[in-house]
Amino acid sequence: MRRRPALWLLTAATIASAPVAAGAQTEKPQSAQRGSQPHIVFILADDLGWKDVGFNGSDIKTPNIDRLADTGLKLQQLYAQPMCTPTRAALLTGRYPMRYGLQTLVILPDQTYGLPTTERTLPQALREAGYSTALVGKWHLGHAKREYWPRQRGFDYHYGPLIGEIDYFTHEMHGQRDWYRNNQPLTEKGYVTTLLGRDAVRLIGAHDPAKPFFMYLAFTAPHTPFQAPQDYLDRYKHVADPQRRAYSAMVTAMDDQIGNVVKALETRGMRDNTIIVFQSDNGGTRSALLAGQIETRGALPADNGPFREGKGSLYEGGTRVAGLVNWPGRIRPGTLDQPVHVVDWFPTLTTRAGGKPGGGLPLDGIDMWPALSEGKPSPRREIVYNVEMFRGAVRQGDWKLFWRTTLPSKIELYDLAKDPSETTNLADQNSALVADLQRRILGLSNEMAKSLFLAATFEALKSAPGGPMALPNEDAFYESDTP
């Protein structure tokens, strides 16, 4: 695929803005004790604002998502990574992306790296437990080499884009089609969100309910470009801003397809034994650069509610996401206002499935089932937002430290219980606590793998037209005294 002309600009702008795990539970899971492994449908939205669902107060119509939230558990402190590729990696490995080099930005079309094949994935663990596995939707964990593709990483079936930032009608990005079924390029017509929903419904309709089933339904909506069919746009004629109108239409179109998936599960008699998780991969986009709209004037359409900034940021607006979990009769309706991280889904879901969370590299995720199903306190005491060589953020209890190490450096400390909007920096008043959290970030940085994005970027610049550029070896950055 063609190289993005703004590669170095994207890197520079992001830099300028800018053993943890508890062991998995070893007791036999309740689902296995009952002799019935649950089906699992994990639904991931792309760049959805925290407030852009009805159950968080939006004026965007999301009745199907809201119904799942009202009859399930709303997750008010659900955290993801600040961008797409890192969150998808964290979900599928149960490990922080900094451990294997995916902590920085996303895999661009011209880059050839991917999720390292040494990482054991969630579909691999579930397939070992007897599940059939399917990815319907966006991958974005490696496209240049087939060894990185979904079918080679534990999915029996894949339909959709390998990267994902595609036109919703042509299925193209930078003039090249990015649309596949089972490793084969595919040409077809249709709106991406509708096609993904239809394929998910088709798979459910053809599935034997007696066999456990894992579907990862990864919508591209409402990621840019902001596009929707006319009938959905007409539902929001009253919205003056054209970008907010299209964005709202995209979210409602996704909600309709989620409703169709739930109905398909009901029709097949699978709904009562299906865990449904819904969340966004990061906060809504508030940066024109990260939205691919450098020339955009005015505000971008995503709404992260009370939380500061958005996608790409280590503030709450970039990392705290809308989310829920629903399993009729097993998870009581209500709200969990305690920390959960996207890495926690790996051990939580694998254990419910009767599988083995272990068997690979040490996990950062924690089995959250007692908190989700019994209302017990969350066992998670720490959130690692991300650690890179130029910034890091960590939360312990209600205290969050954000540390930017590039000049001019910045240290910010927030009490999220009193100040979830991160408006009052308390670093100067809590020097001992700041020092403790800085030491934690430094310790994590010593466990950090080199950023594959930055390594690829340095290599591309060295071989740029006009001869190699005089750049320092990237090893020098990792040998410094700061993360």
Residue pLDDT, tens place only, 467-478:
555 555 444 433
Read off the pLDDT of each residue in 123-127 and give the average, rounded to a whole number: 98
Same domain, 324 and 454: no
Answer whether residue 238 shows pLDDT above 90: yes
346: closest CA among 77, 69, 63, 89? 89
Which of the four pLDDT bands, split at 50, 70 and 90, describes residue 462? confident
Residue 431, CB-side half-sphere exposure with 13 Å CA sphere:
1
What per-residue confidence (pLDDT) applies to 17?
44
Answer whether residue 241 shows pLDDT above 90: yes
Q: Pick the residue with more confidence: 3 or 262?
A: 262
Residues facing residue 274 across a β-bridge: 39
* pTM score of the predicted model: 0.90
Answer whether residue 321 shows pLDDT above 80: yes
Same domain, 340 and 410: no
Percent helix, strand and coil across the chain, each rounded to 5? 30, 15, 50
Which of the four pLDDT bands, split at 50, 70 and 90, describes residue 288? low
Final residue of a domain: which of 359, 380, 401? Answer: 380
106: closest CA among 136, 82, 137, 80? 82
**Residue 10 lies inside a defined structural domain of this protein:** no
Final residue of a domain: which of 346, 380, 414? Answer: 380
What per-residue confidence (pLDDT) applies to 2?
40
Q: Where are the alpha helices (DSSP H) in 154-241?
A: 192-206, 230-234
Same domain, 331 and 312: yes
Would you name the residues annotated as active-site residues?
Answer: 84, 140
The CA distance from 305 to 185, in Å, is: 39
Q: Pick the residue with more confidence: 120 or 287?
A: 120
What per-residue confidence (pLDDT) applies to 96?
98
Which of the four pLDDT bands, split at 50, 70 and 90, describes residue 9? very low
**Residue 56 lies inside a defined structural domain of this protein:** yes
Same domain, 197 and 221: yes
Same domain, 326 and 475: no
What per-residue confidence (pLDDT) applies to 474?
46
Which of the four pLDDT bands, split at 50, 70 and 90, describes residue 294? very low
Residue pLDDT, tens place only, 61-74:
999 999 999 999 99
331: closest CA among 370, 298, 384, 286? 370
Same domain, 290 and 436: no
Structure token pair of residue 340: 């959960």
CATH of the domain at 56: 3.40.720.10
**Residue 154 lies inside a defined structural domain of this protein:** yes
Residue pLDDT, tens place only, 415-452:
999 999 999 999 999 999 999 999 999 999 999 999 99
What per-residue confidence (pLDDT) applies to 293?
55
194: closest CA among 253, 130, 261, 272? 253
Read off the pLDDT of each residue in 99-125 and give the average, rounded to a whole number: 97
Answer whether residue 127 shows pLDDT above 60: yes
Read off the pLDDT of each residue in 33-49 and give the average, rounded to a whole number: 87
Sheet with strand 391-396: strands edge to edge: 382-388, 391-396, 399-404, 410-415
Answer whether residue 459 shows pLDDT above 50: yes
Same domain, 388 and 356: no
What per-residue confidence (pLDDT) applies to 475?
46
Same domain, 272 and 401: no
Question: At 96, which amino acid appears?
Answer: Y
Question: At 194, which amino acid appears?
Answer: T
**Residue 191 lies inside a defined structural domain of this protein:** yes
Give 157's DSSP letter: E
Residue pLDDT, tens place only, 146-166:
999 999 999 999 999 999 889
What per-residue confidence (pLDDT) applies to 94?
98
CA 98, 314, 458, 472: dihedral to nearest 10 degrees? Answer: -90
CATH of the domain at 439: 3.30.1120.10
Q: Give the H or E element holding residue 456.
A: helix 452-462
Final residue of a domain: which of 358, 380, 402? Answer: 380
**Residue 19 lies inside a defined structural domain of this protein:** no
Number of domains in the chain: 2
Q: Where are the alpha helices (DSSP H) in 277-383?
A: 316-319, 345-352, 369-374
Report how far apart, in Å, the C-alpha atoms of 479 and of each of 39, 446, 473, 474, 483 are: 46, 10, 11, 9, 9
What per-residue confidence (pLDDT) applies to 52?
98
The CA distance from 354 to 275, in Å, is: 14
Q: Coil, strand, or helix at residue 37? A: coil
Answer whether residue 123 shows pLDDT above 90: yes
Candidate from 16-20, 208-212, 253-257, 288-292 with smallest mean pLDDT: 16-20
**Residue 53 lies inside a defined structural domain of this protein:** yes
What contacts 231, CB < 8 A, 6 or more positions away?
A: none
pLDDT, mean over the chain: 89
Same domain, 376 and 390: no
Same domain, 194 and 284: yes
Same domain, 451 and 309: no
The CA distance from 110 to 460, in Å, is: 9
**Residue 12 lies inside a defined structural domain of this protein:** no
Same domain, 320 and 454: no
- 46 is in which domain, residue-wise? 29-380
**Residue 16 lies inside a defined structural domain of this protein:** no
Whether the CB-CB separation of 22 and 378 falls below 8 Å is answered with no
Radius of gyration of the chain (CA): 21
Whether the CB-CB separation of 197 and 204 falls below 8 Å is answered with no
